[in-house]
């Protein structure tokens, strides 16, 4: 099942929340909307869900124009950040709810609940109430409730944001496997780049209501289309060096800056400004003679002193060039 957005526009007063966005989620594809706060991710998702009407443009599910349909008639399952479970119902009651609403026979509901609960590691928890669950367990109940309907597609808005770092990574793996197993088209909103990189088949990087690049995680990282995308993905961020002579900006990722305590071929001199030891690697901030600073990402056993002289060079073929004025990449 595909989900296609055609030239969607949505304004709130003077704010253009969604500014002519078109994109397609292919059958079985996991597409992530990634961008800073306020860039229009949730608004776009709510338009697909039918919770918000676009000013212009169309939403198609499997080729059918659903723009004028009520949310319940679109056959899309939603999992939102604030996954409201029914507090008075057990886990089993919550998971089976969408099937009860559809008046399916109780025996069939029980069997489906067991199947989905097993898939999400909830089989032991079916008789508990939501308040007796951890945040991650509640999150999985919300997912199970969405899955049990076998919707044509999933819409998820920051579904992991209430989880602590460890649980988030764990649930990320579960989500990824689940999507592989169910093969449903998924449109997933996050502002977390690690979530986007790990889950997506394709990422739409958004800013100010627009999609700046829509491509695979590999291409978004290795062939960023403009300065914003280049700087938004990657941690630590890409280094940028203005080249005033020709109006371009050179970009180089920290892992592509090589450092040596002694002069080496093509190496340029610098000094150590500060270093951060991460345990498995070290981030070194160096000062260039003209005053610019660059970050290098190096092996954990490199432990330079403050102000020590170092030499740096950029890994061949790993630099990016951008037009400083238009911010677009120069190929």
Terminal-residue alpha carbon distance, the chain:
35
Task: Answer with the entry of Mg ion, ligand ATP, none that 264 interacts with (C-beta below 5 to 8 A by kind).
Answer: none
- 42: contact with Mg ion by CB under 5 A: yes
**Segment contacting Mg ion by CB under 5 A, of 34-42, 110-118, 234-242, 278-286:** 34-42
Q: What is the largest CA-CA distance in the chain?
A: 76
Interface pattern 56-95 for ligand ATP (x via CB under 6 A): ----------------------------------------
Collect all residues with Cβ–Cβ distance below 8 Å to 69 and sequence separation of at least 6.
50
In angstroms, the CA 304 to CA 306 distance is: 7
Q: Examine residue 39 and tell whether it contacts ligand ATP (CB under 6 A).
A: yes
* Per CB under 5 A, 295 contacts Mg ion: no
Residue 43 engages ligand ATP in binding (rule: CB under 6 A): yes
| Site for ligand ATP contains 42 (CB under 6 A) | yes
- Interacting span for Mg ion (CB under 5 A) from 35-43, 60-68, 91-99, 283-291: 35-43
Q: Could you give the CA distance from residue 329 to residue 225 in angstroms, rounded to a whole number? A: 5
Q: Could you give the angle at which helices 91-101 and 106-119 cross, rounded to 10 degrees? A: 130
Q: Does 171 participate in binding Mg ion (rule CB under 5 A)? A: no
Between residues 44 and 270, which has the closer beta carbon with respect to ligand ATP? 44
- Output the smallest distance, CB 159 to Mg ion, in A: 12
Question: Cβ distance 318 to 256 under 8 Å?
Answer: yes
What DSSP element (H or E) covers 145?
Answer: helix 135-147
Neighbours of 29 (CB within 10 A): 19
Closest to 139 in 3D by CA, of 168, 96, 99? 168
Q: Which of 7, 12, 300, 328 binds ligand ATP (CB under 6 A)?
A: 12
Q: Is 14 in the site for ligand ATP (CB under 6 A)?
A: no
* Interaction between residue 43 and Mg ion (CB under 5 A): no
- Asked whether position 187 contacts ligand ATP by CB under 6 A, the answer is no
Pairing mode, strands 76-80 and 64-65? unpaired
Given the rule CB under 6 A, which of 34-42, 93-101, 258-266, 269-277 is the region that contacts ligand ATP?
34-42
Determine if 193 is a binding residue for ligand ATP (CB under 6 A).
Answer: no
Residue 17 sits in the site that holds ligand ATP (CB under 6 A): yes
Report the distance separating Cα 196 and Cα 252, nearest Å: 21
Q: Report DSSP letters for 17-30, one per residue.
A: EEEEEEEEE-TT-E
Q: Which residues bind ligand ATP (CB under 6 A)?
A: 12, 15, 17, 35, 37-43, 191
């Amino acid at each position: 099942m595909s989900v296609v957005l055609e030239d969607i526009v949505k304004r709130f007063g003077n704010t253009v929340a969604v500014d002519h966005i078109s994109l397609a989620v292919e059958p079985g594809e996991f597409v992530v909307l990634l961008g800073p706060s306020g860039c229009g991710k949730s608004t776009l998702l709510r338009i697909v869900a039918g919770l918000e009407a676009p000013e212009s443009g169309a939403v198609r599910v499997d080729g059918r124009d659903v723009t004028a349909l009520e949310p319940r008639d679109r056959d899309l399952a939603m999992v939102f950040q604030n996954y409201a479970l029914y507090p008075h119902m057990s886990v089993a009651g919550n998971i089976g709810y969408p099937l009860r609403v559809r008046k399916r026979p109780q025996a069939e509901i029980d069997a489906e609940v067991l199947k989905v609960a097993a898939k999400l590691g909830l089989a032991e928890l079916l008789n508990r109430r939501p308040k007796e669950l951890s945040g991650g367990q509640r999150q999985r109940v919300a997912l199970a409730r969405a899955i049990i309907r076998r919707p044509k597609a999933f819409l998820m808005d920051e579904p992991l944001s209430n989880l602590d770092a460890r649980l988030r990574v764990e649930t990320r793996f579960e989500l990824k496997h689940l999507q592989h197993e169910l093969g449903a088209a998924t449109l997933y909103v996050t502002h977390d780049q690690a979530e986007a990189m790990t889950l997506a088949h394709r990422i739409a990087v958004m800013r100010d209501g627009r999609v700046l690049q829509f491509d695979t995680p590999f291409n978004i990282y290795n062939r960023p289309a403009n300065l914003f995308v280049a700087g938004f993905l990657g941690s630590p961020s890409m280094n940028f060096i203005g080249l005033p002579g020709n109006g371009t900006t050179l970009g180089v990722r920290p892992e592509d800056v090589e450092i040596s305590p002694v002069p080496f071929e093509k190496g340029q001199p610098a000094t150590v400004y500060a270093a951060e030891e991460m345990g498995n690697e070290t981030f070194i901030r160096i000062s260039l003679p003209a005053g610019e600073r660059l970050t290098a990402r190096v092996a954990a056993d490199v432990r330079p002193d403050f102000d020590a002289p170092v030499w740096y060079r950029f890994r061949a073929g790993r630099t990016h060039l951008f037009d400083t004025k238009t911010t677009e990449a120069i190929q």
